[in-house]
Every structure is written in structure tokens, then in C-alpha cells.
């Protein structure tokens, strides 16, 4: 039977029965497993008291309480409190009992952290997204009347990247052009003076062998090896004296690590002279003539090449020194050659740079020189004919020093320099020609195609507006556009006695026109098609292909009939560009100047490049370019400009092809002479035939020279 609760009984209870407080009860029965493990761990870390006896310790025994069998008693009665003895007994046993083995602290599970609702939702969404990404995508099925999903096709405008600044090429110490012209003139005269005498001696030395080859006997010469050798050595010495500038120039270039054809010809002359001495002194040498005749020919052609080079430099610097501030110069851009204003600084540096011919000679001629020495040793020492070493070396070296190699660059460059000097132009050598002629394009503006005097007014008509106000507005926009019509409207402005107005918000249009704000009014100037696209009402019956229309606030104000007259010089320039395969890049600001107008006016079927408006504007105002001047123009018009670019392109092609042919001839001569000298067949290769063989390789050079000067 349940016992009734009596509050007075608790108030008068024994104080010993109240040994446990509420906190202690909760600490004993209400703590979690984690807190209990931490408490036992802390207890295990505390040192045991000294009074603990040795020996095994009995495990702790906890007294079990009997639960009432009646469930009602369990619900209504509270558990009886433990006595003080029962409480003290476990404490004493705990103090002496061995601590139980517990988990290390690092292996304990982390305490749970509180998670908000937002974090839980975010973690769930992230997990679902990862699972969907891991699964392969399935293409959705499209129904019969379903539509494709909308895609983002709009491209956001990206501002253009800033254009890279032009790289300034190094400019060394430059000599004044007048002094350079004077030095070139002196060198040309110094080398030109002995050239006829050297050529005459060469012809005299070639007459006896030619007569013998034709079947005629020459007194004292025929059948006298000693006379032939002595006369050949004398003529060779005279040629060396007359062509001493070839020796000095070859040694000077060799000090600058440049191997030239002149040095190879000088070496061939020295080796041929040494072979003549061996023939006079040795009896075991092969009985064949020396190659002094071929060595003399190599010296004469080397002197001719040097004289032509100095003549071209003289014509070049003489033309460039006419004016220290030329009206125009030609530079190279990414789109091609460009005519602009600038300074003459750097022209001498560009003109004195090495050409492709010099670079190829520096790279290949040392190989030819060493190969001639090796082949001569193989054909003489390798065949037990040591006394024929100089003979073989002179033959191979004369064949290596091609007669065409000194003329491959000298003749075309001197011929072109003379022609450009007559045209009022100057080209900065091969280096300048290569830069402006390699792209096969030249930028032309409307002022080049229609110079002053070729654009005139054919009539003016106004619609409800004063003539002076219409002319003032049209001249203001034409001046702001800086097109070819500016000069025409400026003259009309003066004749009408009005002045230009300030303009704001000026703009170009791809459709062919300009617009601006003048005195608070929107003014439009352009072609008829541009006016229709700007929704300006046009009267019927106006059929002007090259008319310029003026509209104020979308109302037609005036019509200017403009007439473009073709120039004969411009037509010749266009034909030169077509024959030279040069594409003009039209950078015009005039809305009427288009490729269709040019073909209609000039009748020249030429392919032209017509870039968009932004590129046309950028190309037409290339006045701040800092590149070296590749050419100088002292005359107005498109014709000198076209002649310079076309001549530069033809010069580069002539020099490259001529040098390649000359080097190919040298290679063929080395291989042929090595084969014949190795076999000892000197009768198949006499000096006269070897000189004729080398002369045949010079014919393409003369053809290329004439081709470079005709365009």
C-alpha cells in the first residue's frame, strides 16, 4: 500500500540522511557518457596517495538497490536517500581502486557543435548538387511542340586593349648626309678610274689563249710554257696593283667578321701567283697553264662591284641631302608601307645596315674557302702529287670566287638609286627596301588619289537656307573630318565671306558621313545613302553619285555637287602597283572615295583593300610613328610614292635571286673543278674555259639588273 506523502516528515528528517545535494545527484546519474569519460581521465592523471597498499586491488563494487515490484510504488514514491556510511564506503574504495583503462584524449569524439537552420539547408543543397554533378548528364527529350532552351547569345562589349607602343630601333652615330655623299663620290671615282685599264689588261691576257683555242698559233706564246707563265704573272701583278682597293676592302671587312667576295678573289689571285712561281721552279708539277687569267677576271669583277656599290651610295645620299626636312618619308607598319611626315633622323643608320647578300656571303664563303683547301689537298697530296697542291687550290678557289657574286647586289641597287634620284626619292638601301617591300601593301589616302585641283564643285543648291550659313556648317564639318574635301570647302568659305563655327560631339559614320553639334543644332554631312539611313527626307529627282548633302535637325538644307577628275600620274601609279603585285590599302576619310569610284574613274582593274572605318581613321593619321625612315619623298603625289615602294620590292627580289644564283654557280664550280683536278684531267679545264664558265653565270645578274629598273 502506498505511503502518503507527509511534508512535515521531510522537514524533520535527520541531517545525516541529507548527505547528497541535488547537484551531486545530477553529477552521479545525470551526466553524459562523454563527461564521465573525461572525469575518469582526469582522475587517472592525478597521482595516487602514498598510503595505497601494494598488491592487487579489488574492483569496485557498487551496491545494488532493490526496485519495488509494485509499479505504482515506482511512480509515487521517491527513492530513499543513501546513508552517510553507504556514501563514504564507495568513496574510500574509489580512492584506492586502480583506475580503469580509458581512451586517449585525441581519440575522443569531437563535441557536437550547434548547427543553424541555414547551415543545415546549405549543406543539404551542396550534397545534392555534388550528386547531380557526379551523375552523367542526360539530354532532355524534346517533345513535338517543345522549344529549345534560350541561350545567352549577347556578347558584352570589351574595351579594346591599348595598342602597343612602337619599338624604337637603336640609332647609332650618324654621319651628315652631305659628308656621306662626298665620301661615296670620292670612293666611286677612286675605284672607277683604274677599272677600264684593268679590264683592258684582262682582254689582252685573254687574246693569246683564245687564239690558240681557235686554232691559231701565236708567236713566242705558243709552245713556250715559261713565256706563258712569266707573262701571266706580270699581268696578274699589274691587276693586283690596279685592284688594290679590293684587297684593302676585303681585309677591312674581315676584321669586322665579314667574309666578302672581294677577299675570296684576292686569295685566288695570291694562290694563282704562287702556283706560277712553283711552275717556274719545279719540274715535277703538272704541265698545264696557271689560272692567272681566271684570277685576273675575279679581281676585275670585284672592282666593278665595289665601284657600282659606291656609285649607288653616292646617288642615294645625294638625293637624301637635297633637303634636311623632306616633305614626306616612308615608314613600315603592320599593314604595309605608309607615307607620313616626320624626321630624317635614322635614315643613314638604315641605309648602312647589311643586306641579305652580305649575310649570305658571311655565312657561306668561309665554307667555300675551307672546302677549296681540303679538296685541293685530296686531289694533290691524296694522289701523291704534292707539287700540284697550289695548282689545284688556285683552280678550285677561282671557281669558288664567282664573277657574279660581287655584282648581285651592286648593279640593281645602283640602278635603282639613280632612277629614284631622278624621281626625287631616296631609298635607305637594301634594309629599308626590305622593310617597306616585304608586305606587298601600301597605305593610300584620298589626298593621294585625288590631289589638290582634281576635286571641284559642279553646283550648289540650298533648300530654304541662306548660302552663307549652309557653307559655314558644311565647311565646319569638312574641316573637323580632315578629309579631301576640306581644302575645297575652305576655298568656298573664303569666297562666301563667312567663317567656320565651333563644333562639338563630332562623329564619323561607317555609312559615309559625319555629324556634329553646331549652335545647339544637329548637323549631318554625307552621301545620299547616308542621308536616307539617317531618316532625312530626300527630294525626288536627285541623282548625284558623288554629291555631298547637308542636313540640319534631320531636314535637308543644301546639296553640293562634287566632281572628281582622274589624274594621269595617279593612273600611272596604280598601273605600277598592279604590275608589281602591290595591294593599295585605301585609308580614305572622304565618304565618296571608295574602290568603286576609283575603278570607275581610272579604269584600272586593281585589287584594293578597304578596311572598316576605325582602321581607316587610324591608318590615315599615322603621324606619330617613331620607326626609322625607310625612304624619303621630295615630290608630291602618288607616283613617287608608288615608284619607291615598287622599286624596293623589285630590288629585294633581284638581290636575293642574284645572290642565290651566284652562290649556286660557286658551288657547281667547286664540285666540277674538284672532280677534274682529282682525276688530273687539266686539259678539260683550261683557264680560258673556266673563265667562260664563270661568265655564263653572270648573265642572269644582268637580266635581273634590267628587271629591277623597269617597272
What DSSP line would sit under 77-90, residue for residue?
Answer: SPPPPPPHHHHHHH
Indicate whether 279 and 410 sit together in one domain.
Answer: yes
**In 3D, which of 666, 8, 646 has the Cα closest to residue 372?**
666
Averaged pLDDT for residues 94-107: 41
Residue 453 has pLDDT above 50, yes or no: yes
| Angle between helical axes of 292-320 and 687-696 (0-180°, round to 10) | 30
Residue 44 has pLDDT above 70, yes or no: no
Residue 54 has pLDDT above 70, yes or no: no
Indicate whether 376 and 472 sit together in one domain.
Answer: no
Using 50, 70 and 90 to split pLDDT, how confident is the model at 211? very high
Q: What is the mean pLDDT of the chain?
A: 80
Residue 708 has pLDDT above 70, yes or no: yes
pLDDT in tens, 656-692: 999 999 999 999 999 999 999 999 898 888 999 999 9
Indicate whether 485 and 360 sit together in one domain.
Answer: no
Residue 190 lies in a domain: yes
> Strand 547-552 vs strand 521-526: parallel, antiparallel, or unpaired?
antiparallel
Averaged pLDDT for residues 520-539: 89
pLDDT in tens, 629-649: 899 999 888 999 999 999 999
Contact assessment for residue 695 and residue 397, using Cβ atoms and an 8 Å cutoff: no
Q: Which of 506, 538, 564 is the last residue of a domain?
A: 564
Range of the domain at 494: 455-564
CA distances to 340, 425, 569 from 636, in Å:
12, 11, 11
Averaged pLDDT for residues 361-378: 93
Cβ contacts of 244 within 8 Å, gap of 6 or more: none
Question: What grid cell was written down for 405?
Answer: 657574286
Q: Which of 548, 564, 580 is the last residue of a domain?
A: 564
Burial of 478 (0-12, 13-18, 19+ CB in 10 A): buried
Predicted local confidence at residue 38, as pLDDT:
59
Predicted local confidence at residue 697, as pLDDT:
94
Indicate whether 221 and 347 sit together in one domain.
Answer: yes
Indicate whether 241 and 317 sit together in one domain.
Answer: yes
Contact assessment for residue 523 and residue 506, using Cβ atoms and an 8 Å cutoff: no
C-alpha–C-alpha distance, residues 562 and 547, integer Å: 5
Sign of CA dihedral 188, 189, 194, 195: positive
Question: What grid cell was written down for 646?
Answer: 615598287
C-alpha–C-alpha distance, residues 348 and 177, integer Å: 7
Residue 218 lies in a domain: yes
Averaged pLDDT for residues 47-59: 42
Averaged pLDDT for residues 32-51: 53
C-alpha–C-alpha distance, residues 706 and 646, integer Å: 14
**Least confident stretch, 148-157, 275-284, 334-343, 586-595:** 148-157
Indicate whether 434 and 542 sit together in one domain.
Answer: no
Predicted local confidence at residue 25, as pLDDT:
56
Residue 209 lies in a domain: yes
Indicate whether 201 and 268 sit together in one domain.
Answer: yes
User: At 508, which helix (H) or strand (E)?
Assistant: strand 504-509
Indicate whether 191 and 312 sit together in one domain.
Answer: yes
Residue 20 lies in a domain: no
* Unique residue bearing C-alpha cell 617613331: 626
Indicate whether 341 and 199 sit together in one domain.
Answer: yes
Residue 47 lies in a domain: no
Contact assessment for residue 644 and residue 633, using Cβ atoms and an 8 Å cutoff: yes
C-alpha–C-alpha distance, residues 603 and 575, integer Å: 10
Averaged pLDDT for residues 115-138: 60
Contact assessment for residue 177 and residue 317, using Cβ atoms and an 8 Å cutoff: yes
Torsion of CA 664, 665, 666, 670, to 10 degrees: 100
Provide the domain count of the chain: 2
Using 50, 70 and 90 to split pLDDT, how confident is the model at 12? very low
Which parts of 194-243 fold into alpha helices (H)?
A: 195-214, 225-242
Averaged pLDDT for residues 353-377: 92
C-alpha–C-alpha distance, residues 128 and 122, integer Å: 10
Indicate whether 550 and 460 sit together in one domain.
Answer: yes
Q: What is the DSSP letter of 117?
A: H
C-alpha–C-alpha distance, residues 610 and 587, integer Å: 7
pLDDT in tens, 411-425: 999 999 999 999 889
| Angle between helical axes of 595-602 and 568-579 (0-180°, round to 10) | 110
- pTM here is 0.71
Residue 376 lies in a domain: yes
Predicted local confidence at residue 282, as pLDDT:
87
Residue 519 lies in a domain: yes
Using 50, 70 and 90 to split pLDDT, how confident is the model at 284? confident
**Least confident stretch, 100-104, 131-135, 280-284, 565-569:** 100-104
Q: What is the DSSP letter of 285?
A: S
| Angle between helical axes of 389-400 and 261-281 (0-180°, round to 10) | 160
User: At 361, which helix (H) or strand (E)?
Assistant: helix 356-380
Indicate whether 250 and 390 sit together in one domain.
Answer: yes
Predicted local confidence at residue 153, as pLDDT:
46
CA atoms within 13 A on the CB side of 21: 2
Residue 57 has pLDDT above 50, yes or no: no
**Least confident stretch, 80-84, 206-210, 527-531, 620-624:** 80-84
SS3 at position 562: strand
Q: Which of 529, 549, 564 is the last residue of a domain?
A: 564
| Higher pLDDT among residues 51 and 514, named by residue | 514
Contact assessment for residue 445 and residue 588, using Cβ atoms and an 8 Å cutoff: yes
CA distances to 66, 113, 386, 456, 597 from 76, in Å:
16, 38, 138, 123, 116
Using 50, 70 and 90 to split pLDDT, how confident is the model at 98? very low
Indicate whether 263 and 409 sit together in one domain.
Answer: yes
**Least confident stretch, 87-96, 373-382, 428-437, 465-474:** 87-96
Residue 344 lies in a domain: yes
Residue 65 has pLDDT above 50, yes or no: no
| Higher pLDDT among residues 102 and 245, named by residue | 245
Predicted local confidence at residue 412, as pLDDT:
93
CATH code, 465: 3.40.1110.10
Amino acid at each position: 500500500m502506498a505511503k502518503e506523502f507527509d511534508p512535515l516528515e521531510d522537514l524533520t528528517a535527520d541531517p545525516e540522511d541529507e548527505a547528497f545535494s541535488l547537484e551531486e545527484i545530477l553529477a552521479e546519474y545525470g551526466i553524459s557518457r562523454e563527461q564521465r569519460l573525461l572525469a575518469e581521465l582526469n582522475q587517472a592523471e592525478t597521482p595516487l596517495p602514498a598510503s595505497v597498499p601494494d598488491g592487487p586491488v579489488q574492483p569496485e563494487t557498487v551496491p545494488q538497490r532493490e526496485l519495488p515490484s509494485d509499479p505504482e510504488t515506482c511512480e509515487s514514491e521517491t527513492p530513499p536517500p543513501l546513508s552517510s556510511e553507504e556514501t563514504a564506503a564507495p568513496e574510500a574504495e574509489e580512492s584506492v581502486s586502480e583506475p580503469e583503462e580509458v581512451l586517449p584524449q585525441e581519440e575522443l569524439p569531437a563535441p557536437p557543435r550547434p548547427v543553424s537552420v541555414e547551415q543545415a539547408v546549405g549543406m543539404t543543397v551542396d550534397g545534392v548538387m555534388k550528386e547531380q554533378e557526379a551523375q552523367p548528364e542526360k539530354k532532355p527529350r524534346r517533345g513535338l511542340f517543345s522549344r529549345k532552351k534560350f541561350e545567352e547569345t549577347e556578347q558584352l562589349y570589351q574595351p579594346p586593349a591599348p595598342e602597343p607602343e612602337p619599338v624604337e630601333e637603336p640609332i647609332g652615330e650618324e654621319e651628315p648626309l652631305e659628308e656621306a655623299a662626298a665620301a661615296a663620290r670620292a670612293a666611286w671615282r677612286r675605284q672607277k678610274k683604274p677599272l677600264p685599264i684593268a679590264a683592258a689588261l684582262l682582254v689582252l691576257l685573254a687574246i693569246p689563249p683564245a687564239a690558240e683555242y681557235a686554232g691559231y698559233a701565236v708567236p713566242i706564246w705558243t709552245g713556250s710554257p715559261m713565256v706563258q707563265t712569266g707573262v701571266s704573272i706580270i699581268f696578274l701583278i699589274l691587276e693586283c696593283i690596279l685592284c688594290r682597293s679590293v684587297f684593302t676592302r676585303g681585309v677591312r671587312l674581315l676584321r669586322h667578321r665579314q667574309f666578302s667576295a672581294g677577299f675570296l678573289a684576292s686569295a685566288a689571285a695570291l694562290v694563282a701567283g704562287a702556283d706560277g712561281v712553283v711552275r717556274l721552279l719545279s719540274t715535277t708539277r703538272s704541265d698545264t697553264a696557271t689560272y692567272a687569267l681566271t684570277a685576273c677576271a675575279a679581281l676585275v669583277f670585284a672592282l666593278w662591284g665595289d665601284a657600282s656599290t659606291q656609285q649607288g651610295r653616292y646617288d642615294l645620299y645625294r638625293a637624301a641631302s637635297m633637303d634636311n626636312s623632306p616633305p614626306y618619308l616612308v615608314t613600315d607598319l603592320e599593314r604595309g608601307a605608309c607615307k607620313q611626315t616626320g624626321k630624317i633622323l635614322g635614315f643613314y643608320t638604315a641605309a648602312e645596315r647589311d643586306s641579305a647578300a652580305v649575310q649570305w656571303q658571311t655565312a657561306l664563303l668561309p665554307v667555300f674557302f675551307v672546302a677549296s683547301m681540303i679538296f685541293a689537298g685530296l686531289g694533290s697530296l691524296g694522289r701523291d702529287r704534292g707539287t700540284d697542291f697550289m695548282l689545284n687550290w688556285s683552280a678550285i678557289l677561282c671557281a669558288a670566287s664567282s664573277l657574279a657574286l660581287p655584282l648581285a647586289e651592286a648593279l640593281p641597287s645602283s640602278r635603282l638609286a639613280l632612277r629614284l634620284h631622278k624621281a626625287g626619292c631616296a631609298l635607305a638601301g637594301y634594309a629599308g627596301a626590305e622593310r617597306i617591300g616585304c608586305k606587298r601593301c601600301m597605305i593610300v589616302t584620298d589626298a593621294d588619289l585625288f590631289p589638290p585641283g582634281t576635286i571641284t564643285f559642279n553646283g550648289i543648291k540650298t533648300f530654304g537656307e541662306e548660302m552663307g550659313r549652309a557653307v559655314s556648317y558644311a565647311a565646319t564639318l569638312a574641316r573637323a573630318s580632315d578629309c579631301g574635301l576640306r581644302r575645297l570647302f575652305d576655298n568656298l568659305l573664303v569666297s562666301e565671306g563667312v567663317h567656320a563655327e565651333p563644333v562639338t560631339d563630332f562623329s564619323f559614320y561607317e555609312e559615309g558621313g559625319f555629324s556634329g553639334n553646331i549652335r545647339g543644332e544637329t548637323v549631318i554631312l554625307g552621301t545620299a545613302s547616308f542621308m536616307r539611313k539617317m531618316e532625312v527626307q530626300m527630294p525626288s529627282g536627285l541623282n548625284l553619285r558623288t554629291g555631298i548633302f547637308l542636313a540640319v535637325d534631320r531636314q535637308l538644307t543644301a546639296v553640293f555637287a562634287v566632281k572628281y577628275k582622274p589624274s594621269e600620274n595617279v593612273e600611272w601609279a596604280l598601273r605600277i602597283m598592279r604590275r608589281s603585285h602591290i595591294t593599295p590599302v585605301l585609308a580614305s576619310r572622304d565618304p565618296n572615295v571608295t574602290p568603286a569610284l576609283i575603278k570607275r574613274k581610272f579604269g584600272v582593274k586593281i585589287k584594293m583593300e578597304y578596311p572598316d572605318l576605325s582602321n581607316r581613321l587610324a591608318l590615315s593619321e599615322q603621324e606619330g610613328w617613331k620607326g626609322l625612315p625607310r625612304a624619303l619623298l621630295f615630290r608630291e603625289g602618288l607616283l613617287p610614292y608608288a615608284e619607291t615602294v615598287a622599286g624596293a620590292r623589285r630590288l629585294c627580289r633581284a638581290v636575293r635571286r642574284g645572290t642565290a644564283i651566284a652562290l649556286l654557280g660557286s658551288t657547281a664550280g667547286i664540285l666540277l673543278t674538284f672532280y677534274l683536278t682529282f682525276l688530273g684531267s687539266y686539259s678539260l679545264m683550261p683557264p680560258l674555259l673556266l673563265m667562260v664558265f664563270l661568265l655564263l653565270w653572270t648573265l642572269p645578274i644582268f637580266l635581273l639588273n634590267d628587271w629591277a629598273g623597269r617597272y
